Structure 1
Amino acid sequence: MRNRSVATVAMATVVALGLAACGSSDEPEATPGGESSLATTAGGAGGEVGVFTWWAAGSEKKGLDALEALFKEQYPNNTFVNLAVAGGAGTNAKAKLASDLQNNQPPDSFQGHAGAELLDYIDAEQIEPVNDVIDALGGESVFPKNLLDRLTVDGSIYSVPSNIHRANVVWANTEVLNKAGINAVPADMKAWIADLEKVKASGVSTPLSVAGTWTQVHLFETVLLADLGVEKYNGLFDGSTKWDSEEVKTAVNDYKTLLSYANTASDGDDWPVATDMVIDGKAAYNVMGDWAVAQFADKGKQEQTDYQYFPVPGTDGVFLFLADSFTLPKGAKNPGGAKDWLMLVGSAEGQKAFNVAKGSIPARTDVPPTDFPPYQQSAMESFKNDQIASSIQHGAAVSLAWLTDINAAISKFYTTKDEAALVTDLASAASKYTG
């Protein structure tokens, strides 16, 4: 299994470098199959449809709620059952899901990140191909081929993408920055660290907010991308860049410096806690995926006036990619209802409702950007024009097993701050998966 997984991860990394735009075009064309359904009975297959996610709070829950409402409207014969498990960007949910799958008690559909994360489920023969659903939705006429390639293993597609997220975004409190005399976006990591010092000198005790371990891995991957650049960053996942290289050591040092400006977080803290610190003016900056934009909107905050966003310094011109998708588990109690759910998730109407609420952008190319607020429009533009890299924490770059090792290393470092040990731990983990 190891060689097959490595080959697929390497393929995903190469695909990331040339991934075609998945944002909407300015003038979308009507696409056959966009509103079609596999259900043979009007209103859906009938019965309960259990959908497993980790969207239990914040904008993520709002996005799921929007899909649930639309599902009830379009498939009234079905009964939606929300099986969301809260916490840790899916860490808790994935543990529960693994147990359920091993005990042959799968949900009817579960959320999984597009990319290397799905390999574990495929290798364990726990999910079914959904090529028929993708074809019914319009296939390559609505989903870019390179995105479908990312979902394809041995000729089969194993999930339906619901969105695309950008991970390398800094969210900042405008008033806090103004008080610190900061009126320009820092160009690189060194300049950002200088600005963090200015914020601290202005009297803010927590210039940078973080939450539990997964948010720290999220921050760390953006530092890696900033200090290594796209090519060397992507090389971390096929072995062409060594995890004990000088560039990685520089990133570890910069990451340690960033943490010196951060709050003390417990592992149970989830991302809204850290984002709210920026919203409330208790912190100047937070690095989080663009699901955070809905958190600002929920609190009535206005772009630029109250908050601002920009790529993590040193990553301008790069879109750090992740995508949520939904699967068809082997042995699902209601596969017909599950396919109804997949059809909704992959439809133009479903993707609009979901992504407007969640802060992400559609995976489909036929949803007009004018339907979205300014941030999503800027993300669509970035995805079309910028270089693409794959997220570590969010399943695009590494398998679940590899991510578990990386999380353990980052968690240990948060306590010890031992740079040499972190580099050693990361290199040791990589040797298991890249040879």
Structure 2
Amino acid sequence: MLSTRRALAAVVSVVVLAASACGSADEDSGSAKVEVFTWWAEGGEKAGLDSLVSRFGTACPGQEFENGAVAGGAGINAKQVLNARIAQNDPPDTFQVHAGAELADYIAAGRVQDLSADYDSWGLRAALPQGLLDDLTVDGKLYSVPANIHRANVVWANSQVLSDAGILQAPKNLDAFLQDLAKLRRAGVESPLALGRDWTQLMLLESVLIADLGAKRFAGLFTGATSWKSKAVRGALNDYVQLLAYSNADRDALDWPDAERLLIDGRAGYQVMGDWEAADLAAKNFQAYEYFTFPGTEGVFQWLADSFVLPDGAGNPDGTRCWLKTVASVDGQRDFNLAKGSIPARTDVAGDGFSAYQMDAMADWKTATPVPSCAHGSACSQDWQNTVNATLGAFSTAAEKDVPGLQAALAATAARYVQQ
């Protein structure tokens, strides 16, 4: 399991390995472009994309990468551009999408093609955890190829701030976490828990729900197996309100890197954020931090994955399939994740060369119970996610925290998408 430690994470230089052939019908017919649409435009994400492009160039002779990246945090801008292009029947050859339920609308509209046969021919089923395959499968079919795995239920901490307050170990449960937050505030830390707006608040709520409900009942919230109206959910929402009280008052005005700055500057002790934070902290040359799984979620791996699809109407389907095979390969996943700071979706990639955090996460990915994330599209559709984000934003800014009202709103939203 992830353990509290002084992280020495750093983005590792990409290791260039010898590539295996990736067959394409266009190999002997001259160069053919493959437009790859992503929101990877800078930092570790761009470095990861560049490593895949290098691998693709070797593995897919006759195919030429065309960069269709649109910048924008978490893909907000890119998704708007993509949806407009698809509506105009002008899809790129492939596009990045969060794996899981975020694809539901594209699948229902017949906008992406079934890749089940490719999974079989590439031997990909045997390389992915069954829990991930279950979450990716829609009516018995697979529609996307995950390039990586990120973990959402992680807490990042400023080691010096904790030490100054006499906090010397990670909390084992949510009650202990709340006690440590209170200790930080008594020590003069105004905002013990750094928090941002929108999906960052949903990430926090999801971690609390996992801690209070457990993996199975949490996942059931998005399938109808667990009722949002239950006493257990009410208890989790009350815990969430307590956590909000220890966060920064300007949370609704901050994006996650702005909230992270509170942590780096010592104005906060903790931040709940996905494990892309390790690479970001390293890029900002901040090493005095610790990490641990959100208290009460030990043994649970809340996952999200960047994946690629084969759109219906893609201009170069053969080239796209070669891109997808490159993304799915052991070497492709190794190169990409070494650069990006995430971990391979495949469980058969060797851990040498990866950072301390990545090696911890890779070990957990093989043994922990995977659960999806609504905040990052693996558990719920984009519309569902947007509605919940707006609901939590309104709740955050309200002077009075109406927990029964919040629970009713979340239950009503879920009822529009699943049968309770």
Return the TM-score normalized by structure 2: 0.87
Matched, 1:293 2:275: no
Q: Which residue of 1 is the match for residue 351 of structure 2?
A: 369
SS at match of 1:378: helix
| Unmatched tracts of structure 2, length 5 or more | 1-18
Residue type of the alignment partner of 1:335: P
SS across alignment from 2:247: coil
Q: Distance in 1 between matches of 2:321 and 2:92?
A: 13
* 2:181 corresponds to which of 181, 184, 196: 196
**Aligned partner of 1:430 among 393, 414, 418:** 414
Specify the alignment match of 2:36 in structure 1. 51
Task: Quote the residue 1:107 is aligned against.
Answer: 92
Residues 1:396 and 2:365 aligned together: no
Write the letter of the residue equivalent to 2:264: I
Q: Determine if contact 1:188/1:313 at 8 Å carries over to the other structure.
A: yes
Q: Alignment partner for residue 337 of structure 1, among 314, 319, 326?
A: 319
- Aligned counterpart, 1:157: 142
Do the aligned residues in 2 keep the contact of 1:38 with 1:136 (CA within 8 Å)? no
**Distance in 2 of aligned mates of 1:269 and 1:424:** 27
* Whole-angstrom distance in 2 between the partners of 1:289 and 1:44: 43
Residues 93 and 310 in structure 2, CA contact (< 8 A), matched pair in contact too: yes
Please tell me the residue identity of whatever aligns with 1:423.
Q
Match in the other structure for 2:7: none
- Per the alignment, residue 414 of structure 1 pairs with 396
- Alignment match, 2:167: 182
Contact 1:161/1:326 (<8 A) preserved: yes
Segments ≥4 residues shifted beyond 6 Å: none
- Aligned equivalents of 2:237 and 2:30: distance in 1? 52
Change (3 A) 1:234 1:146: closer
Q: 1:212 — aligned with what?
A: 197
Q: Which one-letter code corresponds to 1:222 in the other structure?
A: S
Partner SS for 1:308: strand
* Letter in structure 2 aligned against 1:131: S
Q: Which amino acid aligns with 1:396?
A: S
Look up the equivalent residue of 1:342 and give its one-letter code.
Answer: L
1:221 aligns with 2:221: no
List alignment gaps of at least 5 residues for structure 1. 1-33
Q: CA deviation at 1:241?
A: 2.2
Offset of residue 265 of structure 1? 4.6
Q: How far apart, in 1, do the equivalents of 2:122 and 2:155 lie?
A: 34
1:316-359, CA deviations, whole angstroms, 9 ceiling, x for partnerless residues? 22111222210011112232332232122111111011112222
User: Which SS does the other structure have where 1:170 is aligned?
Assistant: strand
Asked whether the equivalents of residues 209 and 274 of structure 1 are also in contact (C-alpha less than 8 Å), the reply is yes
In 2 relative to 1, CA 80–104 (structure 1 residues): closer, same or farther, beyond 3 Å? same
Q: 1:165·1:321 contact (CA, 8 Å) conserved in 2?
A: yes
Report the residue type matching 2:309 in the other structure.
T
Q: Which residue of 1 aligns with 2:8?
A: none
Which of 251, 270, 276 is 2:236 aligned to? Answer: 251
Counterpart CA distance in 2 for 1:173 and 1:43 is 55
| Corresponding residue SS for 1:206 | coil
CA distance in 2, matches of 1:279, 1:205: 14
Structure 1: distance between partners of 2:65 and 2:169:
47
Given residue 409 of structure 2, which amino acid in structure 1 is its aligned partner?
Answer: D
- Aligned equivalent of 1:65, options 47, 50, 64: 50
Q: In 2, Cα distance between the equivalents of 1:38 and 1:388? A: 33
Cα pair distance change 1:154/1:236, threshold 3 Å: closer
* Cα distance, 1:124 vs structure 2: 0.6
TM-score by length of 1: 0.84
How large is the Cα RMSD of the aligned pairs?
2.4
CA distance in 2, matches of 1:93, 1:44: 32
Give the secondary structure class of the aligned counterpart of 2:405. helix
* Equivalences, count: 399
